[in-house]
A = this chain, B = another copy of it.
Amino acid sequence: MKIHNFSAGPCILPQEVFQEASQAILNYNNSGLSILEISHRSKDFVAVMEEARSISLELLGLQNKGYKAIFLQGGASMQFLMVAYNLLEQKGAYLNTGTWSSKAIKEAKLFGEVNVVKSSEDKNFSYIPKGYMIPTDVDYFHCTSNNTIFGTQMKEFPNTPKPMVCDMSSDIFSRDMDFSKFDLIYAGAQKNMGPAGTTLVIVKESLLGKVTRKIPSMMDYKVHIEKESMFNTPPVYAVYVSLLTMKWLKAQGGIKAIEERNEKKAQLLYSEIDINPLFKGYTAVEDRSIMNATFNLNDESLKEKFDSMCKEAGINGINGHRSVGGYRASMYNALPLESVEVLVDVMSDLERNA
């Protein structure tokens, strides 16, 4: 049976990527060696790292604009800490849109003052706060572009003279915009970019070197940039599979093309949520994420039936996060439209048979 993988992350990657990634474990580039057993200093892997760094900038339209791309470890959680280590001299401004923003705020507080410019915690993060001011005395403004758990997404970003830092873990490479608005972008790989185990950081070099504290080598963006993401052994395989996925995306037509497909998938599912009287969406309509759709049954007694129909249809990974409940369908880049159609069909079937 075909599985429709709506997992929130780690999540579905393109089937072609799995094929090539599997082959590389046995024999990489016809070397007779597995990609897992070659030196990270070998020509073969240095080429992978260089291409991964350059294609990530290319996909975002950020080449030759003063940005550097590095692949680190530790996920977004490590970036909560590294951002503060490298940028927080006095005060950071943070927009609180959910669990991950809250965690970023918590870690930043160890390094300086944090000004939470606005929060949507009052309604369990079911919307994106608007109409906030970014103070002029902060070192930077930090936001989370997409909130995987709650299913909200920032559609607009503020104009601010302060450097803007954005956690794009769950929607990077999914929609087009002017990425040069941002001074630092980071994203754990395990949604649209690759498998768990590496984190992409894209940073404007001019932003760095301004704090007075001493930064440990592994926490220092400048060190990783200078060493071209090879200060120490990088997570070889995670970077390699990320490269395959980014190349796949480029071959699909890049971010603009994938955004159209993502919009189509999201519209299909949200239409059903709105039309079908058995379901209701969790978030404010204008803040709906095109990556993660969160919704609930109006009548919880239908849960068992709906779950079993989903299972029969091969639908996987749509249980909501415990802090929201209900359902969450994650529709990352590699999820085919067909999978959303199957889910929508099941939702309609439930309505007909309920």
Contacts of A5 in B (CB 8 A): 33, 37
Q: Given A77-B232, A196-B237, A233-B188: A10 and B22 within 8 A (CB)?
A: no
- Residue of B1, B11, B32, B214 touching A37 (CB-CB under 8 A): B11
Query: A10–B37 Cα gap in the complex (Å)?
Result: 5
- B316 contacts A33, CB within 8 Å? yes
Size category of the binding interface on chain A: 35 or more
Q: A81-B216, A110-B216, A216-B81 are in contact. Are A21 and B37 (CB under 8 A)?
A: no
Which residue of chain B lies nearest to A197 when distances are taken between CB atoms in the complex? Answer: B235
Residues of B within 8 A of A7 (CB): 37-39
User: Is A74 interfacial (CB-CB < 8 Å)?
Assistant: yes
Indicate whether A214 sits within 8 Å of B110 (C-beta atoms), given known contacts A39-B317, A196-B237, A232-B75: yes
On whether A18 and B36 interact (CB within 8 A), knowing A73-B78, A218-B74, the answer reads: yes
Q: How far is the CA of A338 from the CA of B195 in the complex (A)?
A: 35
Q: Judge whether A197 and B236 touch: CB under 8 Å.
A: yes
CB-nearest residue of chain B relative to A36?
B195
- Does A288 belong to the interface (CB within 8 Å)? no
Q: How many copies does the complex hold?
A: 2
Measured in the bound complex, the distance between the Cα atoms of B45 and A196 in whole Å is: 12
- The residue of chain B having its C-beta at the shortest distance from the C-beta of A219 within the complex is B81
For residue A40, CB closer than 8 A to chain B, the reply is yes
Let me know if A9 and B74 touch, CB within 8 A: no
Q: Which of B19, B34, B196 is the one whose CB lies under 8 Å from A26?
A: B19
A10 to B278, CA, bound (A): 53
List the B residue with the shortest CB-CB distance to A20: B25
Chain B: which residue is nearest A22 at the CB level? Answer: B25
Residue of A5, A12, A26, A36 most packed against chain B (CB within 10 A) = A36
A32 touches B1 (CB 8 A): yes
A14: shortest Cβ distance to chain B, in Å?
10
Q: Write out, one digit per residue, whether chain A residues 182-205 have a CB within 8 A of any chain B CB (1) or not (0).
A: 000000101000011110000000
Q: A73-B197, A77-B217, A195-B237 are in contact. List 10 more A-B contacts (CB 8 A).
A: A1-B32, A5-B33, A10-B36, A21-B25, A33-B316, A36-B241, A74-B74, A77-B232, A81-B219, A107-B218
User: 28 interchain pairs (CB within 8 A)?
Assistant: A1-B32, A7-B37, A7-B39, A9-B39, A10-B36, A10-B40, A11-B37, A21-B36, A22-B23, A36-B196, A36-B241, A73-B74, A73-B75, A73-B235, A74-B78, A75-B232, A76-B232, A77-B217, A77-B231, A81-B217, A103-B217, A106-B217, A110-B214, A195-B237, A196-B233, A196-B234, A196-B235, A235-B235
